[in-house]
Amino acid sequence: VFASSELSLPREAAAHAIEEVVALARWAGARGWVPATSGNVSVRIGEGFAALTATGADKAALTPDDVLVVPLHATRATEPRLSAEAPLHLSLYRAQPDVGAVVHVHPTAAAWLSRRRAREGALGFQGWEIGKGLRGITTHEARVMLPVVPNDQDTERLALAVASRLATVPPPCFGYLVAGHGLTAWGRNAAEARRHVETYVELLALALEDERAGVEP
């Protein structure tokens, strides 16, 4: 399968990445963040590959058979079991060498707030202790920005829109929202990606409470 690839697959790292994808998917599934087989997770394997959840899999009950190992330049033309959202993962790995794991989820607060704030193009959070869950944030006073891009069923085009939007966001930024859709966040490894997702989801839940209470952000 990988005969034409310029890099050879590190087998041991691949087996470990598959285990991490299964654990991340079950974790997201247990929290109700990937309803109706939505959402997807991936883990980088060396320089040239990633392990990703296959299309349509129930994340809460994911098994290693539901995980694909593909080169970072794979497309649905070459790998038909790739999820429609795979370009959003693979483009991040290609663009940012320190991205080790990517999680895409659909928590209610992410879908709802991203649609409400689509025109502003970003959500800002400040004053919340949980913001320190993001790498480099050391105080509740720091401002955390989460960009919002419009939704697009053409996910290759969406990945390009995300890349150009991310280039304009000041660090630290480890995620983005797609309007009316969900959250994508990443980290240097699976543990950090998980912590960043938990931080953003909690910040979004707090912002949603503010919105309900009529409090200005």
Enumerate residues 175-194 that contact Zn ion by CB under 5 A: 182
Cβ-based nearer residue to Zn ion, 14 or 149 = 149
* Amino acid at the residue 156: E
Question: Is the Cβ–Cβ distance between 5 and 36 less than 8 Å?
Answer: no
Give 101's DSSP letter: E
CB of residue 104 to Zn ion, shortest distance in Å:
6
Distance CA 216, CA 137 (A): 23
Q: How many residues bind Zn ion (CB under 5 A)?
A: 1
Contact map string, positions 141 to 180, toward Zn ion, x by CB under 5 A: ----------------------------------------
In this structure, is the dihedral angle defined by the CA atoms of residues 123, 205, 152 and 66, taken in order, positive or negative?
positive
For Zn ion, which residue has the nearest CB? 182
Shorter beta-carbon distance to Zn ion: residue 133 or 182: 182
Residue carrying the six token digits 């200005």: 216
Residues 86-105 that bind Zn ion (CB under 5 A): none
Helices (H), 42-175: 86-95, 108-116, 155-166
Residues near Zn ion (CB under 5 A) are 182
